[in-house]
Structure 1
Amino acid sequence: MTTPDSRGDREKVVSKLPSWLRQELKVRAVQHGIDMQDAVEAGITAWRALGSNLSPIDTSGAESFATFLPGRLWTGFRSDCKLRGVSLIQGLAQSVRVWLDSHPAPAVKRPDIVRRVVICNQKGGVGKTAVTAGTGEALAEDSTALVPVRVSKHFAALLEEDQEAANDPLALEDLPGLGQRVLLVDFDPQGHLTKQLGHAPLPMDGDSLTNHMAGDGKSSLSDLIVSIDEDRFGGRLHLLPACTDAFLLDVRLASVRAREAALERALTAVEPDYDVILIDCPPSLGLSMDAATYYGRRRPQEVPGNSGVLIVVQAEDSSADAYELLTSQIEDMRNDLALDVDYLGLVVNHYDARRGYIATSSLQSWMAIKDPRVVGIIGDLKEQKEAVRAKRPLLAYAPRCEQSVALRALAREISK
């Protein structure tokens, strides 16, 4: 069946494909940045040029599949299928397989230097933990599957207070997961990140990150790391759980040589296993924050923006006061130790325009700051709270919810 198409000489053609093969074609076409119809056209052209038939493909359960192809190509393809003694469905499946085999999935890009993202704000309750977990989850999603991502025009719609545009389903784009190997470090003695992801804090009488930072590690730090076992992360998402002994970290660091480098010394041994390490900082401006800032500094030969500080705020006045205190401490570290510390951006969390003028005007104030700039706006919705109650990662609990698609956009924004 063919239907004329107004776009050049192409016609709509309808046949059938197994759903698994169609999905593989859809993902691979996105990975290579081309339309599915162009991939099918290239596959049919290559199949027709073959000197012999390919091994049969199981097309049982094939479902309707429509695309646009040049009319002459489709007519010639139908004739070739008859000459070769294969059904149109089988010929199409083989053509798609030819294209897939000649266009393998691109390898996941690995950073030359492990990326270190320090997620911070000494003000409690702004949602640092949720942003840390969600960003790490978005970075670790399967690169061979498509996930919905909120495109950047969402920011403009929010600023214009146009909720209809902000919720426009066309503002979503299906993109392959990022496939990164991610370590989440719960650097907060309260252990919210650890508990939210369904794990128990490390026991006080055992080993911990605090012990390793103080030079008293009892075993390899890698022995403390646990995996977040959800299929969509494929073993790429790990957690270094918290221990309540971190309440004593500042006291213990006071007697440690080069204490600002203590976190780096502890994590160096596990860095080769990961592409990205995210630090969920405590609500503190003490020595632990100094150590986290130092860890996120730009290293020699590291490109700007590969690592740095990501600040989580809310659209209300007290966040502005806390922000000034935090950036003042970071600037002191920069100047006192001659460090290059990059700001990766601001994340406005728990945003809800229905809260009126304070929320919308505060958002505009954050957007007016150009360094660091706003790189994410995360809504205050029920799915995050439900995921915490279920002790599951948000992107596994509700992968298509508004918060999930916004967190994927944030992960891509800070990965540019």
Structure 2
Amino acid sequence: MGKIIAIANQKGGVGKTTTAVNLAASLGVLEKKVLLIDADPQANATSGLGLDVETIEAGTYQLIENSTPAMSLIKETNAPNVHIIPAHIDLVAIEIELVDIDRREYMMKQALSSIKDNFDFIIIDCAPSLGLLTLNALTASDSVLIPIQCEYFALEGLGKLLNTVKSVQKIHNPDLDIEGLLLTMYDSRLRLSNQVVEEVNQHFEGLTFKTIIQRNVRLSEAPSYGESIINYDASSKGSENYLSLANELINKNA
């Protein structure tokens, strides 16, 4: 039975999409069958795996609307063993359209129930907000992975996100776990980076992944070529980090 993991943080620029794309690609290389769901209207995960966003006719919007069977929305990507349900700018409208619908927080959960068993992991790349789209993702997921960048405002907003997770657990999804906090954009030369690592480990002992994602030029170049870091430069530090994270995730869920 597949495990659904939402990658969420309402703060932008923390490495959510980078993590969603490269974790999916790393799990694929390790021979896991992966589905990536792009639940961010910016559609960066879609273009980051080589799909042309302009040509997308159906994707996450139709999935949540339940207007198209989930199976027929799945597209192949250039990453081995990784499939995607892509996003399109139309996804922006879904929050407004869901407002009057009954049980609107459960739309994604309902849509994914028919395909959950076809994959080892389903990864949802959430939008940088705590709106209805992210709420749908958290309600549909077994766990949430939270990327935190090693910068000054790292812990700002984390409390708010953890409170949202708590209220989702209480009201919509009692089985939602925290998969872990992932430290991203780490630069060992900076005292600040080391302070953030120390602080997060101190406050959230046992919740933080051992793997830390380091700042890496190749990692930021890869999306512009529509490739994961594994395809773009398998020998880079970024590739090494995400493969390590994938292994950690597999062992944790073994």
The aligned counterpart of 2:47 is 195
The aligned counterpart of 2:60 is 209
The one-letter code matched in structure 2 to 1:125 is G
The aligned counterpart of 1:410 is 245
Structure 1 unaligned regions, length at least 5: 1-112, 142-177, 298-307
The aligned counterpart of 1:41 is none
Matched residues in 1 for 2:173 and 2:224: separation? 43
Matched residues in 1 for 2:135 and 2:54: separation? 23
The one-letter code matched in structure 2 to 1:360 is N
1:315-348 Cα shifts (integer Å, max 9, x gaps): 1232211211111111111123461211111111
2:195 to 355, 358, 361: 361
The aligned counterpart of 1:401 is 236
Matched residues in 1 for 2:105 and 2:48: separation? 28
Q: In structure 2, do the counterparts of structure 1 residues 374 and 272 end up closer, same or farther at CA, with 3 Å as the change threshold?
A: closer
SS in 2 for 1:376: coil
When the two structures are aligned, how many residues end up with a matched partner? 250
TM-score (structure 2 length as normaliser) = 0.92
Please say if 1:348 is aligned against 2:183: yes
Tell me, yes or no, if the aligned pair for 1:366 and 1:374 is still in contact at 8 Å: no
* Cα drift, residue 371 of structure 1: 4.9
Structure with bigger RCO (C-alpha 8 Å, 6+ apart): 2
* Cα drift, residue 373 of structure 1: 2.1
Matched residues in 2 for 1:378 and 1:189: separation? 25
TM-score (structure 1 length as normaliser) = 0.57
The aligned counterpart of 2:32 is 180
1:42-65 Cα shifts (integer Å, max 9, x gaps): xxxxxxxxxxxxxxxxxxxxxxxx
The one-letter code matched in structure 2 to 1:179 is E
Tell me, yes or no, if the aligned pair for 1:209 and 1:266 is still in contact at 8 Å: no
The aligned counterpart of 1:274 is 119
The aligned counterpart of 1:261 is 106
1:137 to 11, 16, 25: 25
Q: In structure 2, do the counterparts of structure 1 residues 315 and 291 end up closer, same or farther at CA, with 3 Å as the change threshold?
A: same
1:248 to 86, 90, 93: 93
SS in 2 for 1:364: helix
* Cα drift, residue 386 of structure 1: 2.2
SS in 1 for 2:197: helix
Please say if 1:116 is aligned against 2:4: yes
The aligned counterpart of 1:221 is 70
1:313 to 148, 151, 170: 148
Matched residues in 1 for 2:178 and 2:140: separation? 13
> Structure 2 matches for 1:21-170, cutoff 5 A?
113-141=1-29
The one-letter code matched in structure 2 to 1:114 is G
Matched residues in 1 for 2:31 and 2:63: separation? 29
SS in 2 for 1:353: coil
Structure 2 unaligned regions, length at least 5: none
Matched residues in 1 for 2:63 and 2:100: separation? 14
SS in 1 for 2:101: coil
1:183-223 Cα shifts (integer Å, max 9, x gaps): 1111100011111111122668x4332233124x1x43333
> Structure 2 matches for 1:320-399, cutoff 5 A?
320-337=155-172, 339-354=174-189, 356-368=190-202, 369-399=204-234
- After TM superposition, the runs of 4+ consecutive aligned structure 1 residues lying more than 3 A away are none
Q: If you compute each CA radius of gyration, which structure gives the higher value, 1 or 2?
A: 1
Matched residues in 2 for 1:371 and 1:284: separation? 26
SS in 1 for 2:35: strand
1:374-397 Cα shifts (integer Å, max 9, x gaps): 343101111112212222121011
The one-letter code matched in structure 1 to 2:127 is P
Superposed CA RMSD in Å reads 1.8
Matched residues in 1 for 2:11 and 2:89: separation? 19
Tell me, yes or no, if the aligned pair for 2:2 and 2:118 is still in contact at 8 Å: no
SS in 1 for 2:153: helix
SS in 2 for 1:239: strand
Tell me, yes or no, if the aligned pair for 2:3 and 2:116 is still in contact at 8 Å: no
SS in 1 for 2:212: strand
Percent sequence identity is: 27
Tell me, yes or no, if the aligned pair for 2:154 and 2:196 is still in contact at 8 Å: no
Matched residues in 1 for 2:104 and 2:211: separation? 32
The one-letter code matched in structure 1 to 2:75 is V
Matched residues in 1 for 2:229 and 2:191: separation? 29
SS in 2 for 1:345: strand
SS in 1 for 2:235: coil
Q: In structure 2, do the counterparts of structure 1 residues 207 and 392 end up closer, same or farther at CA, with 3 Å as the change threshold?
A: closer
Tell me, yes or no, if the aligned pair for 1:343 and 1:371 is still in contact at 8 Å: no
Matched residues in 1 for 2:40 and 2:72: separation? 19
